[in-house]
Amino acid sequence: MSEIYVTGHRNPDTDSIVAAMAYANLRKALGDREYTAVRIGSVNDETLNMLKRFGFEAPPYIKNMRNQVCDLDFDHPPELHRSVPLELAWQSMREGQIATIPILNDDGTLYGVLSAGDVASYDLRTVYENMVSDIPLFNLISVLEGYLVNEFAETSNSVSGKVQIAIPKSYSDGTVLSPDSILICGDQPEVIKTALEAQVGCLIICQADIAPELTEIAGHTCIISTPLDARQAARLIYQAVPVMRLCQTRDIVCFHLSDYIDDVKETLLSSRYRCYPVLDENEKVVGTLSRFHLLRPRRKQVVLVDHNEASQSVSGLEQVEILEIIDHHRLADIQTKQPIAVRNEPVGSTNTIITAMYQEHGVMPSPAMAGLMAAAILSDTVMFKSPTCTKRDKAMAERLARIANISLKELGKELFSVTGADDKSAEELFMTDYKQFHIAEKDIGVSQITCIDSARLMDRREEFMATMGALRDKYGFDIIILMITDVLLEGSHILYVGSDDIIQQAFNVQPKDNQFFLPKVMSRKKQVIPMLTALWG
């Protein structure tokens, strides 16, 4: 089951963070366990205070939603330990019809990669060789499907020597046999006796039994009985070699689940291999990736709350599948490839809409969640003083307050008492609730700081002006505005960088030193952006 991310906008305010959390919680209550609230920006002090107040952690941060290796349906071939015999690896490759197989260390990390080419190259070498070196005894018994006849005196757990097949009467005098020999024979008592007297390193008896009295003279000879014929045994001895001796271990190209597909494509174009290991965050092997896997990546699935504008949304939005939008702002420029559910209502807070969705589905939020949602409504409606506030916002907030058993008045005071003006830079404060807009070919940036003591922030006017000037120079914005909204004064101090004429025409004011005060102006969405839109629209 793929994860569905619920996210608000960049530089999220309380309404944005809580809307993502509340909607994911609702879907989980309805049995949709895959919904997960995330954020795409830092959590401001106001939101952190409310999260702590009601016992919640901030949603996990996601930098972007570009397609990653974890979004691909890559292969999951067998992953073999480096000690397994080549015969087992080759059998796995044949059965799975795969050309490359990862070879692992004891802890599951990547040791190397074995390809069909490596196996073929080794097989060709064995045509001209009849020597094997340090073949693990367990491997040899396994590939021969046999068993150890005797408990030989040698302490080594491996077999080495020249591979020879006994022809009747060829070894009657024992002159060509030595401890370096690996002799393969059948039901040939005389040859067996001669080999044991010569103390060959290993005696492989095919489709026959050995007389008990002969095992008594075995000494250091390892005796293996196998149901295979001599031809099969001779061939399989070479395939008992551990795969670690054949596989590639240097300059291996591999990818991690977190790697971005755009970057992977560039690497694949410069590499000659057909298949590449995929590793998780602990460097453990989880599969293999081929070029054709890149053709149809699974898009991350996303629900957008409290925004529907691409410039305010997550980086990589063009690569995701948007499932749903829940918002209370103007309709903007986000496009989808298929019809989706959109719930856009003229209310003061996204959480007002989501509270209605709880009611429609017959789900009551917990007291803690209800309190958090009430705080989000108070935040976005500036304690019901914003012109965006509606009767529905008040009704829903009061309903949530009853569930949470809290006072909205006291909660509002606590909400706006946190500004962080003393311990944060002007840039940090400015970016806390900053949004970008593209209107009639004009680029605008508007930040809003809501507080109950605007004088403290206005004392830092020069710092804010320097921050806005640097931002305008860097990105070429037409105008950048800071709203310092005072809940008690019920108005906003406006600081700006850009054209004086634009400000004069849009707000019908005579600014002085790039600042002025707008009484009763509490909403960026309803009282600032519309003025600029009307000017340029």
pLDDT (0 to 100) of residue 272: 74
The 8-class DSSP code of residue 171 comes to: T
pLDDT (0 to 100) of residue 240: 93
Regarding whether 307 and 289 lie in a shared domain, the answer is: no
Regarding whether 455 and 377 lie in a shared domain, the answer is: no
- Residue 270, in any domain of the structure: yes
Q: What band does 174 get if pLDDT is binned at 50, 70 and 90?
A: very low
Regarding whether 169 and 22 lie in a shared domain, the answer is: no
Helix (H, G, I), strand (E, B) or coil at 276: strand
Regarding whether 401 and 314 lie in a shared domain, the answer is: yes
pLDDT digits (tens, 9 = 90+) for 221-239: 889 999 999 999 998 999 9
pLDDT digits (tens, 9 = 90+) for 101-133: 999 999 999 999 999 889 998 888 887 778 898
Regarding whether 507 and 369 lie in a shared domain, the answer is: no
Structure tokens at 166: 């006994």
pLDDT higher than 90, residue 496: yes
Cα torsion through 260, 266, 270, 276, rounded to 10: 20
Mean pLDDT on 239-245: 93
Mean pLDDT on 191-218: 88
pLDDT digits (tens, 9 = 90+) for 478-495: 999 999 999 889 999 999
| Cross-strand pairs, 109 | 284
Q: Report H helices in 417-512.
A: 426-432, 454-458, 461-475, 500-507
- Residue 253, in any domain of the structure: yes
For the chain, percent of residues with pLDDT exceeding 90:
58
Helix (H, G, I), strand (E, B) or coil at 322: strand
Regarding whether 409 and 304 lie in a shared domain, the answer is: yes
Encode burial over 402-425: b for 16+ CB neighbours within 10 A, e otherwise.
ebbebebeebbebbbebbbbeeee
Output the domain CATH number for residue 166.
3.40.1390.20
pTM of the model: 0.68
- Top mean pLDDT of 182-191, 211-220, 314-323, 354-363 is at 354-363
Mean pLDDT on 194-215: 89
Mean pLDDT on 388-399: 96
Q: What is the mean pLDDT of the chain?
A: 90
Regarding whether 160 and 110 lie in a shared domain, the answer is: no
Rounded alpha-carbon distances, angstroms, from residue 53 to 47, 431, 486: 10, 23, 23
Q: What band does 421 get if pLDDT is binned at 50, 70 and 90?
A: low
pLDDT higher than 70, residue 443: yes
DSSP 192-244: HHHHHHTT-SEEEEES----HHHHTT-TT-EEEEESS-HHHHHHHHHTTSBGG
Rg (CA), the chain: 37
Identify the helix (H) or strand (E) that includes residue 25: helix 14-29
pLDDT (0 to 100) of residue 419: 55
Regarding whether 229 and 92 lie in a shared domain, the answer is: no
The C-alpha atoms of residue 318 and residue 37 are separated, in whole angstroms, by 20
| Cross-strand pairs, 102 | 113
- Residue 128, in any domain of the structure: no
pLDDT (0 to 100) of residue 169: 53
In this structure, how many other beta carbons lie within 10 angstroms of the beta carbon of residue 150?
18
For the chain, percent of residues with pLDDT exceeding 70:
96
- Residue 138, in any domain of the structure: no
pLDDT (0 to 100) of residue 422: 67
pLDDT higher than 80, residue 141: yes
Domains in the chain, number: 4
Regarding whether 85 and 45 lie in a shared domain, the answer is: no
Amino acid at 414: E
Check if the beta carbon of residue 46 is closer than 8 Å to that of residue 377. no
Regarding whether 208 and 262 lie in a shared domain, the answer is: no
pLDDT (0 to 100) of residue 170: 52
Output the domain CATH number for residue 430.
3.10.310.20
Mean pLDDT on 292-311: 90
* Domain end (from 416, 450, 469): 416
Bigger pLDDT: 102 or 423? Answer: 102
Owning domain of residue 337: 4-67+300-416
Q: What band does 179 get if pLDDT is binned at 50, 70 and 90?
A: confident
- Residue 140, in any domain of the structure: no
pLDDT higher than 80, residue 423: no
pLDDT (0 to 100) of residue 154: 55
Regarding whether 249 and 111 lie in a shared domain, the answer is: yes
Mean pLDDT on 199-217: 88
The 8-class DSSP code of residue 340 comes to: -
